[in-house]
Amino acid sequence: MNPVAHRLSLWLLLAPFLLWMLLLVIVPHLQMLWVSFHVRESWDSSVWGVAQYQTFFSESYYWRTFVRTGVMSLFTTLLTLIVAFPVAWYIARLARGRSKGLLFAACLIPFWASELVRTYGWMILLRESGLISTWLQFVGLTDAPVEMLYNDIAVMTGLVYNGLLFMVVPLVTTLDGLDESLVEAGYDLGGNSWTVLQQIVIPWTMPGITSGCIVVFMLTLGSYLTPVLMGGKDSAWFTEQIFTQFITRFNWEQGAALGVLLLVLSSALVWLGLRLSGQSFRRVMG
């Protein structure tokens, strides 16, 4: 094939992807950025300005929710990692043959249901008249119904559950490649389980940990249904505010500004995470 034809076929292959990126990612974001710097004067005229951003910083409710969402997402990511690591270790290194596939499927099956159904599942379990509450009363641990929904712990539980698969998959992939003799050498040279984990297993798994954390963090930060349905009055999520601005208040300018801020926050935190863990984006995703 001559170079021109080669280039052409490459472009043709890339075209759908580039089109997708352009139409669904770049254009909406530019539009959002553009809208966010407009300040409405009357119902049909507007001028350039940063009023929306000023509102964000002056209204403590906005930036408090913003910080809360960031911190809770980080915490959720960490929790997901802690829960997913032993699961991934078991699937990658201890399970053999059929049981390996079955375990993987067990992680995957919940994702056949939509997020709504999964969240509803948690609600059935946790609500005042739910299974756990009824059971606790039946066993006699409590006298009155217990409400376990509508608080931060409930939200976190739902979010960890949503993120689990996206953490387990990259961890299993990297742990699969870890040579058993490296672990044995770690013990042979005098290490205990903790030092082997910390000095050998975790450095090896770092690319998987980082990519899993990035995905789960992004998913959590941008999730909407779980925090709305399972969170209480005080556990507002930042996406809820964006929704409110766009849909309830029809204040697209404010909504766009909040959307831009969320994008900046997630990018900044991912960048920071990569720097702190000494990984490069190319190595993690490549």
Partner 1 sequence: MTPANADRKSVDGEPVNREDGDRNCADLECRGLVRRFGDTAAVDHISLTIPPGQFFSILGPSGCGKTTLLRMLAGFEQPDSGDIYIRDQRMNEVPPNRRPVNMVFQHLALFPTMTVAENIAYGLRRQGVKTAERQQRIKQVLAQVGLPELSDRNPHQLSGGQRQRVALARCLVLEPTLLLLDEPLGALDLKLREQMKIELKHLQKTFGTTFVYITHDQSEALVMSDQVAVMRQGRFDQLASPEELYHNPATPFVASFVGDNNRLPGRVTSVQNGIAAITLANGQSVQGRAAEPGVAAGAAVDLFVRPESMSVKQDHPQQSLTRLSATVSTTLFDGANSRLEMRVGDQTLYARLPQDGRLGAYSAGSVAELSWDPRRAPVFLSGTG
By the criterion CB under 8 A, which residues form the site for partner 1? 179, 181-182, 184-192, 195, 199-200, 203-204, 206
Specify the residue, 3 or 190, whose C-beta has the smaller distance to partner 1.
190
Q: Minimal distance in Å, beta carbon 186 to partner 1?
A: 8
Specify the residue, 116 or 185, whose C-beta has the smaller distance to partner 1.
185
Specify the residue, 73 or 205, whose C-beta has the smaller distance to partner 1.
205
> How big, in percent rounded to 5, are the helix, strand and coil portions of the chain?
80, 5, 20
CB neighbours of 113 closer than 8 A, spacing ≥ 6? Answer: 121
Judging by beta carbons within 10 Å of its beta carbon (0-12, 13-18, 19+), is residue 145 exposed, middle or buried?
A: middle
Specify the residue, 33 or 274, whose C-beta has the smaller distance to partner 1.
274
Q: Minimal distance in Å, beta carbon 203 to partner 1?
A: 4
162, containing H or E segment: helix 152-176
Q: Minimal distance in Å, beta carbon 275 to partner 1?
A: 18
Q: Minimal distance in Å, beta carbon 95 to partner 1?
A: 20
Backbone torsion region of residue 171, taken as left when φ is above 0, otherwise alpha when ψ lies between -120 and 50, otherwise beta = alpha
Residue 40, SS3 per DSSP: strand
